[in-house]
Amino acid sequence: MQTLQINIEDRLISKIGLASIKERLQKEIEFLYFENLADEIYQAIEKSNIDNEKELEIARQQAWDDYKQKFIKGIE
């Protein structure tokens, strides 16, 4: 981990507060981290040649079949 040093005008610090600025910057950095992670996951999925739509449909159908078996016996 590295430390980042930035210059912020005193007027801005006195107006919204140092803690508020730190919190906002931390959230922005976390967003960038997760955005980058999502891009890496997406690229890995693309390279895997797995048909996501097909896999999703199989999972939906299995979930529906499980639900019917557990909760809708004899109603159909």
- The model's pLDDT over 1-36, given as tens digits with 9 standing for 90+, comes to 888 899 999 999 999 999 999 999 999 999 999 999
Q: Taking Cα atoms as reference points, which of 13, 14, 37 lies closest to residue 25? A: 13
Higher pLDDT residue, 7 or 75?
7
72, pLDDT greater than 90:
no
pLDDT at residue number 73:
75
